[in-house]
């Protein structure tokens, strides 16, 4: 079995590649031959992984990378929301044109590949419904990033309808805890707050304590992506784009989850200075219902304390020492 991962040098992609490379997934039929694809890949990737560094818009690079068929293909490469808004042409080229190029290459295979597209809750835009969001909520993006993701969702469904790929698009919520670097994510504060509290430093939160968002740890995200790649085709219905389960938490609840590991004193380290635009875009989420994903066996992190533990890769010893 041959597996491809675009965006393999990114926050989620690098973790997905590392887990797949461990070979723990043979029972699911995965993990035989792995191709990591990105413009630049970290040197820390396992040696057994095939490295494919280049531009997905380059015809020669595409021909070389897709010279042999893939059985499973994860498409994670993307320009995130803030960066896609600042540089529209770059966002369009990477988020749409590169995705189209990948789909067209996969469509040439004799046997359709399982294509897993990492979409985003950004397809919904603002304002969100006040009561709940579920699989029937109409996507109405209000950012270029969300619009670009929705375009590719439609293409994935159409390529599946035509029998060209066995595709599905899973909408990822806020994935934490990203490193404290500027990466174009307007929602970076969701991760930064955990790193800061772990270090015992004060944090100014740009949304209110009652601001609610949808959260998932990177570890859980990787598990869900792998599950998406291994689901039998007969279990999937005609809806090829759906929301993944996530925890709906206020920032106060997230801080409480961190306090469960690092001690109650961290709660006093947080002050709240809400930014109206950020609050509207990322801090006003209603309850999230995910019946399609639930029925297929996708899961969230359980509770806030477990979310923090998985997001920061905390051992029990570290947690207990911090809370002592």
Residues 6+ apart with CB under 8 A from 294: 245
CA 89, distance to chain mean position in Å, is: 22
Residues 6+ apart with CB under 8 A from 66: 105, 106, 108
Sign of the CA dihedral with 93 first, then 164, 12, and 213 last: positive
Q: How many angstroms separate the CA atoms of 149 and 76, rounded?
A: 11
Residue with tokens 């029998």: 163
**Active-site residue identified among 145, 189, 272, 285:** 145
Distances (CA, A) of 29 to 3, 26, 106, 229, 303: 11, 5, 20, 10, 30
**Can 88 be counted among the known catalytic residues?**
no
15 and 45 Cβ atoms separated by less than 8 Å: no
Q: How many angstroms separate the CA atoms of 77 and 70, rounded?
A: 17
29 and 227 Cβ atoms separated by less than 8 Å: no
Neighbours of 280 (CB within 10 A): 16
Neighbours of 223 (CB within 10 A): 17
Q: How many angstroms separate the CA atoms of 272 and 102, rounded?
A: 43
Q: How many angstroms separate the CA atoms of 265 and 14, rounded?
A: 34
**Residue 199 has what DSSP assignment?**
T
Residue 121's nearest CA partner among 129, 110, 113 is: 129
Would you name the residues annotated as active-site residues?
145
């Amino acid at each position: 079995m041959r597996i491809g991962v675009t965006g393999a040098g990114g926050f989620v992609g690098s973790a997905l590649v590392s887990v797949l490379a461990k070979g723990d997934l043979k029972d699911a039929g995965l993990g035989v031959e792995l191709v990591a694809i990105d413009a630049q890949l970290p040197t820390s990737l396992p040696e057994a992984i095939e490295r494919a560094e280049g531009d997905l818009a380059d015809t020669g690079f595409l021909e070389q990378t897709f010279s042999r068929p893939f059985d499973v293909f994860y498409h994670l490469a993307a320009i995130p929301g803030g960066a896609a808004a600042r540089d529209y042409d770059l966002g369009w080229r990477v988020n749409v044109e590169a995705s189209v190029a990948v789909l067209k290459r996969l469509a040439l295979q004799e046997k359709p590949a399982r294509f897993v597209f990492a979409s985003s809750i950004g397809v919904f835009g603002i304002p969100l419904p006040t009561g709940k969001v579920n699989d029937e909520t109409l996507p109405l993006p209000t950012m270029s990033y969300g619009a670009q993701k929705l375009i590719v969702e439609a293409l994935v469904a159409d390529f599946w309808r035509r029998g060209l790929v066995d595709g599905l698009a899973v909408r990822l919520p806020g994935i934490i805890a990203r490193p404290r670097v500027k990466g174009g994510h307007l929602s970076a504060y969701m991760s930064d707050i955990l790193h800061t509290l772990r270090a015992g430093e004060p944090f100014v939160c740009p949304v209110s304590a009652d601001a609610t968002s949808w959260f998932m740890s990177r570890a859980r995200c990787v598990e869900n992506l792998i599950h998406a790649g291994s689901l039998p085709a007969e279990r999937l219905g005609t809806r090829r784009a759906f929301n993944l389960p996530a925890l709906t938490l206020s920032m106060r609840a997230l801080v409480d989850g961190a306090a469960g590991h690092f001690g109650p004193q961290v709660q006093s380290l947080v002050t709240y200075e809400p930014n109206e635009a950020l609050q509207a875009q990322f801090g006003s989420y209603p309850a999230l219902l995910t019946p399609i994903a639930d029925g297929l066996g996708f899961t969230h992190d359980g509770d806030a304390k477990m979310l923090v533990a998985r997001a920061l890769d905390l051992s029990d010893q570290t947690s207990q020492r911090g809370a002592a």
